[in-house]
């Protein structure tokens, strides 16, 4: 049965605005921990740590500039419009992301994905996908970009530590798409522009609605359709990890012991500095 989560507006100064999809219940979006759909034109967040999960940045094609990403492992990456960067924080890393050209607006998804318990204390690492390497599926009135996971015969070249799918779907007015969800996987949809309908139920930015599809014993198929002015929709799919989430904000582990250890390691400077 489809339910609806509500996004929240989250602006920070004059140069950062966002719609956030987060929950106090870790099971609601599992294996995802939260999504920020944001526009950023100036440095907003100083260097900060992450541990126990992955921080993923996907930049929409309409971004005016790229995002300069750097971390305490020495990685320096320019995320170009249409590209994706996956930081698997593992036992801990410090990172920072800012618009490559200050004053120009980036349009992005910041996606927080849990790591399987057995990988939460692995060494941190990063994966990057260039825009030209993102698979694209086109149908009448529809374009589907596949930066993570798979859609029909298209599959992202990335192999992240948590197997999830991200689809960036553009729909012309009235265009329809069949959306298949594998057995035992959770899915939810986030409106980026305009309005759409899922199995006949409308959702859009104007009402901050985000449809949730719970895991089912068998594969399911759903009808996604663009509204009167078309729509852009992000689709998130993944198999729940069914593990505890104990968090202090920038760090989250399946055990209190590992969270305390990671916090102490950061305070001792063991995650490096920027």
The model's pLDDT over 198-210, given as tens digits with 9 standing for 90+, comes to: 999 999 999 999 9
Find the domain containing 152 and state its range: 134-243
Per-residue model confidence (pLDDT) at position 107:
98
| Interval 181-204 mean pLDDT | 97
Give a yes or no: residue 249 inside a domain: no
Does 3 map to a domain? no
Do 111 and 158 belong to one domain? no
Q: Quick one: 63 and 95 in the same domain?
A: yes
Angle at 234 between CA 228 and CA 236, to 5 degrees: 140
In percent, the amount of the chain with pLDDT more than 70 equals 100
How confident is the model at residue 1, as a pLDDT? 78
Judge contact between 100 and 63, C-beta under 8 A: no
Q: What's the mean pLDDT when you consider all of the chain?
A: 97
**pLDDT digits 0-9 by tens, 209-261:** 999 999 999 999 999 999 999 999 999 999 999 999 999 999 999 999 999 99
| pLDDT (0 to 100) of residue 21 | 97
154-155/164-171 β-pairing: unpaired
234 and 142 both lie in a single domain: yes
Q: Tell if the pTM clears 0.85, that is, is over it.
A: yes
* pLDDT, tens digit, 9 for 90 and up, residues 261-270: 999 999 999 9
Domain identity same for 160 and 209:
yes
Question: Does 115 lie in the same domain as 159?
Answer: no
Q: 182 and 101: one domain?
A: no
- Tell me, what DSSP letter sits at residue 105? P
The token pair at 150 is 């798979």
Q: Domain total for the chain?
A: 2
* Shared-domain flag, residues 170 and 230: yes
Chain segment 27-76, per-residue pLDDT in tens: 999 999 999 999 999 999 999 999 999 999 999 999 999 999 999 999 99
Question: 110 falls in which pLDDT band (50, 70, 90)?
Answer: very high
Q: Is the distance from CB of 150 to CB of 135 less than 8 angstroms? A: no
Report the pLDDT averaged over residues 135-144.
Answer: 98
Which residues have CB under 8 Å from 267's CB, separation 6+? none
Same domain membership, residue 235 and residue 146: yes
- Please check whether residues 118 and 194 belong to one and the same domain: no
**Span 172-186, mean pLDDT?**
98
First CA to last CA distance, the chain: 46
CATH of the domain at 204: 2.60.120.10
């Amino acid at each position: 049965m489809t339910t609806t989560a509500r996004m929240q507006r989250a602006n920070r100064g004059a140069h950062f605005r966002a719609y956030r999809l987060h929950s106090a219940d870790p099971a609601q979006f599992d294996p995802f921990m939260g999504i920020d759909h944001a526009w950023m034109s100036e440095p907003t967040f100083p260097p900060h740590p992450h541990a126990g999960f992955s921080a993923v940045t996907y930049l929409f094609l309409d971004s005016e500039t790229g995002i300069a990403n750097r971390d305490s492992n020495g990685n320096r990456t320019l995320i170009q419009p249409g590209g994706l960067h996956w930081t698997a924080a593992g036992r801990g890393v410090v990172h920072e992301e800012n618009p490559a050209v200050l004053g120009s607006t980036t349009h992005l998804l910041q996606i927080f994905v849990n790591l399987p318990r057995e990988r939460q204390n692995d060494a941190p690492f990063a994966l990057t996908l260039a825009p030209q390497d993102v698979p694209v599926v086109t149908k009448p009135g529809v374009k589907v970009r596949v930066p993570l996971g798979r859609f029909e015969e298209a599959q992202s070249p990335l192999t992240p530590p948590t197997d999830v799918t991200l689809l960036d779907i553009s729909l012309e007015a009235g265009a329809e798409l069949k959306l298949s969800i594998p057995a035992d996987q959770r899915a939810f949809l986030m409106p980026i522009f305009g309005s759409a309908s899922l199995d006949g139920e409308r959702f859009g930015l104007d009402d901050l609605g985000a449809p949730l599809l719970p895991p089912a014993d068998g594969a399911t198929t759903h009808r996604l359709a663009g509204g009167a002015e078309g729509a852009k929709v992000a689709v998130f799919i993944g198999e729940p990890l069914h593990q505890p989430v104990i968090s202090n904000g920038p760090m989250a582990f399946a055990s209190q012991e590992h969270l305390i250890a990671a916090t102490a390691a950061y305070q001792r400077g063991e995650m490096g500095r920027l």
